[in-house]
Every structure is written in C-alpha cells, then in structure tokens.
Amino acid sequence: MNSEEIFALTENFIAPTYKRFPVAFSRGAGVKLWDAEGNEYLDCLAGIAVCNLGHCHPRVSAAIAAQASQLMHVSNLYHIEFQARLAKILCELSFADKVFFCNSGAEANEAAIKLARRYGHEVLGEGAKRIITMHRSFHGRTMATITATGQKKVQTGYQPLLEGFDYVPFNDIEAVAAAITEKTCAVLVEPVQGEGGVILPAVDYLNRLRGLCDERKILLILDEVQTGVGRTGTFFAHQHSAIVPDIMTAAKALGNGFPIGAMLASDRVMHYFGPGSHGSTFGGNPLASAAALATLETLRDEKIVDRVIQTGTFLKVGLERLKQQFPEIIGDIRGLGLMFGIDLKDVPVAEVVGACLERRLLVGSAGDNTLRFTPPLIIDKSEIETMLQILTEVLKDVKSGQP
Ligand SMILES: *Cc1c(COP(=O)(O)O)cnc(C)c1O
C-alpha cells in the first residue's frame, strides 16, 4: 500500500483518538525509519522512549522470532521460564524482590495503585487508601491512572473519577508533608516528569520524599514507565540518587517495542498481593518475556546504559549552542541522560515538530510548549549532529517566518 492509501484507511476505520502526522512507516533499523515510499527518516523520539535499542535490534528480533515458533502463550496458571528469568534480571538491576507482569504502563500503575491500597488496608488501617500524586504528572489512560494523573486534560468528560487521590505541585516537599493524613497510603511520582514537559526533580527532592514516606510510614511509588530501562543514564532514573522506592513501575522500553509492563516491589510490600488478588491473561507471557529478556540482556551485555550520559552531554552541548543561535525561539533546556525537553517561546511546538518531519526528522512534544527528544540510546554523535543540523534549518525557517 502507498502512504495515501494508508491515510485513507486510517481515516475511515481508526478511532479518531490521535491527531496523526501524514506519514506511515513500514521499516525500521537502529535510529532510522523508512516510509511506504522508501523515504528515510532519523528517529529522535523512538516511539516515545520505547525503542531504546533502536528499531528491530537483531538480538531482540531473533529472540521474538525463535519464541514465536516455540511457544507464544500459556496462562499464568503455569510456570513460564522466560518470565521467571526476566523477573530475576529486573530484580538484579533494581531494589526489587518480586515482579508482577502486565502489558502496559497504565496497567503497571493500576497494579501499583491496587497494591498500595491493599497495603494501606492491611497495614495502616481500614481507611488508609489515599494516594498523593503530582500536578503535571502522567500515569496512563485507564480510569484509575487518569485519576492519578494530575492534568485536567486527560480527565475531561470522564467524571466520576476514582475516589482517593490528592494532588500537590511537583518538587514541593512541604506540600506533600501537608497533604499526608492518616488516610494516606502512598505517594506516587515520576522521578523525571515526562509528559508534563521533562521536568527534573529538585536536588534532594527524592531523598526528602523517601524520608517523609518513612517518617509517616507510607509507601513511595515511582513511575519509571518513561524514565526506566536506561533512558536517563542509569538503569532506573532514581538510581541517580541514593534512595529506593517501595514500589516501581516500568513499561515503555522494557520490550524494546514489544508490549510489556512490570510492577516491581520489595517482598515486604509485594507479600500483600496473594493468590487471586490481581492478575493478567497476557502479562509476562512467553513471547513478551522473551522480548524483554533479550532487551535487558542486550542493554547489560553491551553496556549501553554506560554511554547514555556521554551521548546525552554531547546532545545537550549541541542544544545549548542552538539556544545561543536562536535565543528568541528557545527557552529553558532540561534533560537527563537521553531525555530532553526544550521550551519554545512564541512558536507553537506542533509547528516545529511538523517542520522537522518534513525534513525527515522525528521529534516529539510534551507539556505546554516543549519540544521533546527521546532518541534510541544507541544513537551516535554523527546522528546527533545530523539531528542538530536539521533542527538548525527548521529554526532558521521558523525565524524567517516560513516553516
Ligand atoms: C507512557 C507513560 C505511562 C502510560 O504507559 P502506557 O503503556 O501508554 O499505558 C505511564 N506513566 C508514564 C510516566 C508514562 O510516560
């Protein structure tokens, strides 16, 4: 099918929940994508922080192909070798003792919310079910996770929302302290806010949150759905600090594009999820687990995460140079590892994203008016230079009023 035919088919048969750019990709390799006509694109979004090893990493593709003809699915009523091996490596890479598998970030957060409520119920007392979340957070699109999300735009039209969430500004430790009551069981926070606009935690914020949760005997839940799996230069973003959470969620890059989510916890907490307390038909099935295991083993064996900081610094220097060149367009630049946001002044981010796409560069948007970069972690310096070159041309056009 050619692109025009694909667009028409989408228009006719796909629910209009996304405003799609006029492009349909048919092939990917590393940092490159090709559309139906064979045009080549440079992907600096990676499916929004999903394809951290790049598109169709041979090791992941081979693991999926092998498992697809060996055994795709059995129920969680039975033991699944790759699921158990995947859980073991996730525990080795994190604070966790046990893992629950599901299929997406929202589902992982659902599991975390359920576990925290269960813990509150069993440990803190009947009514201790409330969870504190942050303004501008993003936790998913299910009913519980849009309620947890501190952004009106994802909640509009879906009331009544779930009971039991309280919202405070991100990076405001006093506000959290003031919001905790005897009804609170947990605080849920992204270590770096992604969809909110790539907002970094203040120095010591996570440490102080951990201290506060310990003092008030409530759980700290970290949503590492976007920041996890090497994105920020440590395997999980909170590992830049000295703290560990009680519960953590991961998804996006976990299967390098194969859908899988995970909710990780210490034994002390996971212990409250007994047989029958939660479940998932597909969660951690043989195919998904084989994909994720190959992803994690590749990241670990090839020491991919070790070079994220260096590549990220190179990108940051380039972006700062761009800011000097276009001070009237570029505002604040924020980032950690290979997760970057650039605030745009006056010019709408959608216009810049569209102009980049016309020049065959994929970037994203976040927050109110922030350009977002989450390239594959395997991106090299020459590819970053190409990206900066294209961005320079786009900003020149924007400046002269002809994007
Ligand atoms: C993307 C995202 C989610 C939702 O993940 P889905 O797989 O789309 O359900 C949750 N939390 C954060 C921080 C995310 O970035």
* pLDDT (0 to 100) of residue 402: 67
Distance separating alpha carbons of residues 266 and 289, to the nearest angstrom? 21
Per-residue pLDDT at 401:
83
Please state the atom number of ligand 1 nearest to the C-alpha of residue 224.
Answer: 13
Angstrom distance (rounded) from CA 188 to CA 109: 9
Does residue 226 have its Cβ closer than 6 Å to ligand 1? Answer: yes
- Please indicate whether residue 104, judged by its CB atom, sits closer than 6 Å to ligand 1: yes
CA of 48 to the centre of ligand 1 (A): 10
Say how many Å lie between the CA of residue 14 and the centre of ligand 1. Answer: 21
Q: Can you read off the two tokens belonging to residue 322?
A: 């761009």
Q: Which residues pair with 333 in a beta bridge?
A: 342
130 and 184 in contact (C-beta within 8 Å)? Answer: yes
Q: Is 138 in the pocket of ligand 1 (CB under 6 A)?
A: yes
Q: Ligand 1: distance of its center to the CA of 193 in Å?
A: 11
Q: Where in the chain is the domain with CATH 3.90.1150.10?
A: 3-57+304-400
The pLDDT of residue 158 is 98
H helical segments located in 285-346? 286-301, 308-325
The pick from 17, 134, 138, 221 for probing ligand 1's pocket by mutation, whose C-beta has the most ligand atoms within 8 angstroms, reads 138
Mean pLDDT computed over 122-137: 96
- Among residues of the chain, what percentage have pLDDT more than 90? 98
- Cβ–Cβ < 8 Å for 193, 170: yes
Euclidean distance between CA atoms 260 and 104, whole angstroms: 5
Question: Which of 342, 330, 335, 49 lies closest to 201, judged by CA?
Answer: 335
Q: Does residue 197 surpass a pLDDT of 70?
A: yes
Residue 45 pLDDT > 60: yes
- Position 260 pLDDT exceeds 60: yes
CB contact set of 266 (below 8 Å; sequence gap of 6+): 95, 96, 97, 98, 246
Contact 350, 4 (CB under 8 A): no
Report the side by side order of strands in the sheet with 40-43.
25-29, 32-35, 40-43, 361-362
CATH architecture of 59-301: 3-Layer(aba) Sandwich (3.40)
| Confidence check: pLDDT of 389 > 70 | yes
Q: Compute how many other C-beta atoms are within 10 angstroms of the C-beta atom of residue 295.
A: 28
Instruction: Return the best residue to mutate from 147, 226, 227 for the ligand 1 pocket (most ligand atoms within 8 A of CB).
Output: 226
Q: Which atom of ligand 1 is nearest to the CA of 145?
A: 10
Per-residue confidence at 99, pLDDT binned at 50, 70, 90?
Answer: very high
What are the start and end residues of each CATH 3.40.640.10 domain in the chain? 59-301
In terms of Cα–Cα distance, which of 46, 85, 90 is closest to 236? Answer: 90
Question: What span, in angstroms and rounded, lies between the C-alpha atoms of 261 and 283?
Answer: 8
Which tens digits make up the pLDDT trace of 149-164? 999 999 999 999 999 9
Nearest CA to ligand 1 atom 15: 226
Looking at residue 126, its pLDDT comes to: 84
Q: Which CATH number fits domain 3-57+304-400: 3.40.640.10, 3.90.1150.10, 1.10.490.10, 3.30.70.1150?
A: 3.90.1150.10
Q: How far is the CA of 106 from the centre of ligand 1 (A)?
A: 6
Ligand 1 atom, smallest distance to 227 CA: 13
More confident residue, 126 or 380: 380
Q: Is 139 in the pocket of ligand 1 (CB under 6 A)?
A: yes
Q: Sorting pLDDT into bands at 50, 70 and 90, what band is 403?
A: low
C-beta 225 within 6 A of ligand 1:
yes
